[in-house]
Amino acid sequence: MLWHPDRSRSLLPCGVLLWLLLLPVFSGCGYGLGTRSASIFSDADGALKTLKIKSVENPTLDTWLPYELRSAIRDEIAARRLAIWVDSGRADFELDIKVVSYTYRTWVYDDQDVSLLFLADMIIEATVYRGNSNDVVWRSGPIQYSDTYETLEERKAATNLLREIARLLADRMRQVF
């Protein structure tokens, strides 16, 4: 017989002991239990700073794009606890977003010229300003993401694209050297 109820009780303390021994090892490797990591919004006191979007420059004809981009970035920053999001009023930092380019086009056709695969591509740049002095704190540089989609529904594909762009932006915000 491989398993016996009495054996499982004797393994429980071993599992707890193993977990307690490995916890310091994982915490030294960058893993944490709900702790915030450094970001461009961090300072000596370690308190979360407030952030709001100053503007979104959208050179495209897609009027829905700024709203969707704001939502994706707000959700990503809040999920990573990089800053406390405020919609209006004073904030410690203000984020200015520029959509450099956005395209959604057919990428692969079949032999009857029916679109099979679509390519969505976006490039954005972000600038963070200090809220009280309007001094530039950080510039992202160009952030680009491209992906292929099997759907003709541009908004559906763009939602995924914007989510990935927001993740890349948040990743860069965490890279403080």
What does the alpha-carbon distance between residue 101 and residue 105 come to, in Å, rounded to a whole number?
A: 13
Per the structure, how many domains does the chain have? 1
| Residue at 115 is within a domain | yes
Q: What is the pTM of this model?
A: 0.71
131-140: average pLDDT: 90
CA dihedral 15→18→23→29, nearest 10 degrees, is: -120
65-85: average pLDDT: 92
| Residue at 27 is within a domain | no
Confidence of residue 29 (pLDDT cuts 50, 70, 90): very low
Q: Is the pLDDT of residue 82 over 80?
A: yes
Of 97, 109, 2, the residue nearest 54 (C-alpha): 97
What does the alpha-carbon distance between residue 31 and residue 37 come to, in Å, rounded to a whole number?
A: 10
CA angle 85, 75, 125 (to 5 degrees): 85
Rg (alpha carbons) of the chain, rounded to whole number: 23
In this prediction, residue 30 carries a pLDDT of 45
Q: Is the pLDDT of residue 92 over 60?
A: yes
In this prediction, residue 118 carries a pLDDT of 80
| Residue at 6 is within a domain | no
126-150: average pLDDT: 91
**Domain assignment of residue 83, given as a range:** 48-174
| Residue at 131 is within a domain | yes
